[in-house]
Structure 1
Amino acid sequence: MAQPITIGANSIAKINNRFFLIVEVEAKTTGVEIDPVFGVRTTAQQAAALIRAGVMRTKFQNFDPKPTSTTKVELKGVLFAGGQIFKVFDVENSTDVSVLVRINQAQAQRLIKAGTRIIKVYRKPF
């Protein structure tokens, strides 16, 4: 039997010399599909250790990723981190990765008003 809770996309983002672990938690079972994304501030040492252990670096793009026949793209929310604002996408093909696209305050407010979630960020490193 598959585990009902797993980690989906996860990566390390460096935003204005601050490091964030971007994580998707997937909870799936009959009648339930919950998959929030959240950020956790890390120290530079924690980020480096996680990258050495195999955690990917977050992808940053200037444009929204597009779905294809082999790639699923889902907008997960708006991230406010390091004084910048991003749309966060979950991009699934042979890997499962977060893609961040920088946006401005007006774009963020339009998305939030239309129902896009604000991604929770734990700002104090553990």
Structure 2
Amino acid sequence: MAQPINIGANSIAKIGDRFFLIVEVEAITTGVEIDPVFGVRTTAQQAAALLRAGVKRTTFAKVDPKPTSTTKVELKGVLFANGRIFKVFDVENATSDISVLVRINLAQAQRLIRNGTRIIKVYRKPF
């Protein structure tokens, strides 16, 4: 039987002069599917070590990713990080699961949040 809790999309984002680990936690079992995304501030040294260990860099895009017959796209929330605001998407197909960040302005963020989009929790103090 598969483990009910796994790490999904995970990557290192450099936003301005700061680094963040963007990670999706997937809890899936019969009747339950919980898959939030979190941001965790890291130091430059931690980010470099994670990148060397194989963690990928976060994908930044100018437009929202589009689903295809083989790719699922899900808006996970709004991320406020280092004075910038992004929509965070989970983009998944048979071979990859990545986070895609699309920069937005405050008015767009407020509209999304009013319509029920979650705010991505960011742990702002590096561990």
TM-score (norm 1): 0.99
Whether 2:94 is the aligned partner of 1:100: answer no
Determine the C-alpha separation between the residues in 2 that align with 1:12 and 1:97.
Answer: 11
Would you identify which runs of 4 or more consecutive aligned residues in structure 1 move more than 4 Å?
A: none
Aligned residue-pair number: 126
Q: Distance in 2 between matches of 1:17 and 1:63?
A: 23
Note the residue ranges of structure 2 that are not aligned, 5 or more in a row: none
What is the Cα deviation at residue 87 of structure 1?
0.0
For residues 46 and 23 of structure 1, what CA distance do their matches in structure 2 show? 15
Matched, 1:117 2:112: no
Give me the whole-angstrom Cα distance separating, in 2, the residues matched to 1:18 and 1:95: 25
Residue-by-residue CA offset, 1:69-125 (whole Å, 9 max, x unaligned): 111000000000010000000000221000000000000000000000000000000
In 1, the alpha carbon distance for the partners of 2:17 and 2:60 equals 15
List runs of 5+ in structure 1 lacking aligned partners: none
- Identity among equivalent positions (%) equals 86
Superposed CA deviations along residues 28-58 of structure 1, whole A, max 9, x for unmatched, are 0011000000000000000000000000000
